[in-house]
């Protein structure tokens, strides 16, 4: 059932809409498919912040020349175990996928590889790259920093934004099990896209996640979307989350050569990501059977902790996303009314008629 003010769209249909808009915005079909699939899978995983709601921004950034369709990842340097790539403001979902694919091949050959990617446009949900490596049987670690965009997150003890929401991701494959351990998190207490989703739904942000332009606590998601007097997100875990954001900033920003968010680097207003990834072949570290059994035993041990709330059993990282995907595959992906309208408008701007988009989405006239 669709909730009030939202449409529910089957994931295949939503992907067709996304591909149609991206193709009209200038992407070759292969690129449109990769980007659309990434976005819709983020929705499936429950991360609407990194799903199709980004399309209107991408269309605008393409129009402004800040996001460049049909740009592949370019190899800057091959140092054996280290591969360095340039993203040149291409779709991050594409260039990061290509860079990680090269890293997977290298890791298979050497047992370890390190991939850097600089100047990609928004790489989206970082867990996608963890999944890509896990599907190849590899462990992976990823750090990302954000540039081009105004800073969003305050340092611990600060009162204004000086960082992006710098995500960190660690993925451990579990062959033969339902899916990998997939820790994929922003270092802010809440991702900006989730603040946007709450603003679109007219709902407040949970307490102690946001400060206003004067550093005072607020629950108003609107403070993050003002041109002037913008508020800031707070880091997870006080000084510890701030520390994680700082090392993501430096690993991804400095080792990639792309730079950090410090103000001497120009900001044009889109979203540029730099990525630092380490891939490891677990087969080179010991007996795969023993590893598999030990991971199973540890996961079972953690999950057997009696839940503090009987309705909320202990989960492991990656499980909430799998549960969301199972539900959304069955019942469709909920898209709030504001986001759906923005997608339709973005489509119209690049020549995709409203009726055509609605029919691709399987929505009759009036939708819902
Ligand atoms: P989140 O808080 O929903 O989840 C973070 C992690 O916690 C996930 O690995 C999840 O599986 C795990 N988790 C959630 N509930 C759990 C539970 N009850 N028990 C055990 N584990 C649990 O995610 P987030 O921090 O809001 O990040 C959302 C997405 O935003 C991520 O995919 C991230 O890559 C992306 N992101 C991207 C950028 C960018 O610039 N490209 C920036 C920030 C965030």
**Token duo for residue 54:** 């980004």
- Residue to probe by mutation, ligand 1, list 97, 170, 252, 320, most atoms within 8 Å of CB: 320
227 Cβ contact partners less than 8 Å away, ≥ 6 residues apart: none
What are the tens digits of pLDDT across the range 114-139? 999 999 999 999 999 999 999 999 99
pLDDT at 188: 97
pLDDT at 201: 85
**Number of Cβ atoms within 10 Å of the Cβ of 94:** 27
145 lines ligand 1 (CB under 6 A): no
d(CA 243, CA 235) in angstroms, rounded, equals 9
115 lines ligand 1 (CB under 6 A): no
Q: Whose CA is nearest to atom 15 of ligand 1?
A: 320
Q: What is the pTM of this model?
A: 0.96
Q: Which atom of ligand 1 is nearest to the CA of 318?
A: 11
Confidence of residue 368 (pLDDT cuts 50, 70, 90): very low
Residue 110 pLDDT > 60: yes
126 lines ligand 1 (CB under 6 A): yes
Q: Which atom of ligand 1 is nearest to the CA of 236?
A: 25
Residue 3 pLDDT > 80: no
Please give the domain boundaries of the chain with CATH numbers for all domains.
1-65+332-368 (1.10.1530.10), 71-188+237-320 (3.30.1370.60), 192-234 (3.30.60.50)
Residue 226 pLDDT > 90: no
Q: Give 123 Cα–ligand 1 centroid separation in angstroms.
A: 14
Q: How does DSSP classify residue 217?
A: E
Confidence of residue 197 (pLDDT cuts 50, 70, 90): confident
124 lines ligand 1 (CB under 6 A): yes
pLDDT at 191: 87
- Taking a C-beta distance cutoff of 8 angstroms, is the pair 70, 26 a contact? yes
pLDDT at 4: 62
- With CA atoms as reference, report the closest residue to 249 among 170, 166, 188: 166
Q: Of the ranges 8-12, 26-30, 228-232, which one carries the lowest mean pLDDT score?
A: 228-232
Residue 62 pLDDT > 50: yes
Summary mean pLDDT of the chain: 96
Residue 337 pLDDT > 50: yes
117 lines ligand 1 (CB under 6 A): no
Confidence of residue 213 (pLDDT cuts 50, 70, 90): very high
Q: Give 167 Cα–ligand 1 centroid separation in angstroms.
A: 8
Confidence of residue 173 (pLDDT cuts 50, 70, 90): very high
Axis crossing angle, helix 319-331 with helix 29-44, rounded to the nearest 10 = 110
Residue 68 pLDDT > 80: yes
Confidence of residue 1 (pLDDT cuts 50, 70, 90): very low
At 355, is the secondary structure helix, strand, or coil? Answer: helix
Residue 5 pLDDT > 90: no
What are the tens digits of pLDDT across the range 10-26? 999 999 999 999 999 99
Q: How does DSSP classify residue 225?
A: G
123 lines ligand 1 (CB under 6 A): yes
At 103, is the secondary structure helix, strand, or coil? Answer: helix
Confidence of residue 194 (pLDDT cuts 50, 70, 90): confident
Compute the average pLDDT of residues 79-98: 98
d(CA 251, CA 145) in angstroms, rounded, equals 8
What are the tens digits of pLDDT across the range 292-331? 999 999 999 999 999 999 999 999 999 999 999 999 999 9
d(CA 279, CA 6) in angstroms, rounded, equals 39
- With CA atoms as reference, report the closest residue to 350 among 12, 35, 55, 37: 55
d(CA 108, CA 97) in angstroms, rounded, equals 17
What are the tens digits of pLDDT across the range 265-293? 999 999 999 999 999 999 999 999 999 99
Helix, strand, coil content of the chain in percent (nearest 5): 45, 20, 40
**Number of Cβ atoms within 10 Å of the Cβ of 211:** 20
- With CA atoms as reference, report the closest residue to 117 among 217, 9, 295, 252: 252
332 lines ligand 1 (CB under 6 A): no
Residue 365 pLDDT > 80: no
Tally the C-alpha atoms within 13 A of residue 367's C-alpha that lie toward its C-beta: 22
d(CA 133, CA 171) in angstroms, rounded, equals 8
- Taking a C-beta distance cutoff of 8 angstroms, is the pair 54, 22 a contact? no
- Taking a C-beta distance cutoff of 8 angstroms, is the pair 342, 333 a contact? no
What are the tens digits of pLDDT across the range 353-363? 999 999 999 99
């Amino acid at each position: 059932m669709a909730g009030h003010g939202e449409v529910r769209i089957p994931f295949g249909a939503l992907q067709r809409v996304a591909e149609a808009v991206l193709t009209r915005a200038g992407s070759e079909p292969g690129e449109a498919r990769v980007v659309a699939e990434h976005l819709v899978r983020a929705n499936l995983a429950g991360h609407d912040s990194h799903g199709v709601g980004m399309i209107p921004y991408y269309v605008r950034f393409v129009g402004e020349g800040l996001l460049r369709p049909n740009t592949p990842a370019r190899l800057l340097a091959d140092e054996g175990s280290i591969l360095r790539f340039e993203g040149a403001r291409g779709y991050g979902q594409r260039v990061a996928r290509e860079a990680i694919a090269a890293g997977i091949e290298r890791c298979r050959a050497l047992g370890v590889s390190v991939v850097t990617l600089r100047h990609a446009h928004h790489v989206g949900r970082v867990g996608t790259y963890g999944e890509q490596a896990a599907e190849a049987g590899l462990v992976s670690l990823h750090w990302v920093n954000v540039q081009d965009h105004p800073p969003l997150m305050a340092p611990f003890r600060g009162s204004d934004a000086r960082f992006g929401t710098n995500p960190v991701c660690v993925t451990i494959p579990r062959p033969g099990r339902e899916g990998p351990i997939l820790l994929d998190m922003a270092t802010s207490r809440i991702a900006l896209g989730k603040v946007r989703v709450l603003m679109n739904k007219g709902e407040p942000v949970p307490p102690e996640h946001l400060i206003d332009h004067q550093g005072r606590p607020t629950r108003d998601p609107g403070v993050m979307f003002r041109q002037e007097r913008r508020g800031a997100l707070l880091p997870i875990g006080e000084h510890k989350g701030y520390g994680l954001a700082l090392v993501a900033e430096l690993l991804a920003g400095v080792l990639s050569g792309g730079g950090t968010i410090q103000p001497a680097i120009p900001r044009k207003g889109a979203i540029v990501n730099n990525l630092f990834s380490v891939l490891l072949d677990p087969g080179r570290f010991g007996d795969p059977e023993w590893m598999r059994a030990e991971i199973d035993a540890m996961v079972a041990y953690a999950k057997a902790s009696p839940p503090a709330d009987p309705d909320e059993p202990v989960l492991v990282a990656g499980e909430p996303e799998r549960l969301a995907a199972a539900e959304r595959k069955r019942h469709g992906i909920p898209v709030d009314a504001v986001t759906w309208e923005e997608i339709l408008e973005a489509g119209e701007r690049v020549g995709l008629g409203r009726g055509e988009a609605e029919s691709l989405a399987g929505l009759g006239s009036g939708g819902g």
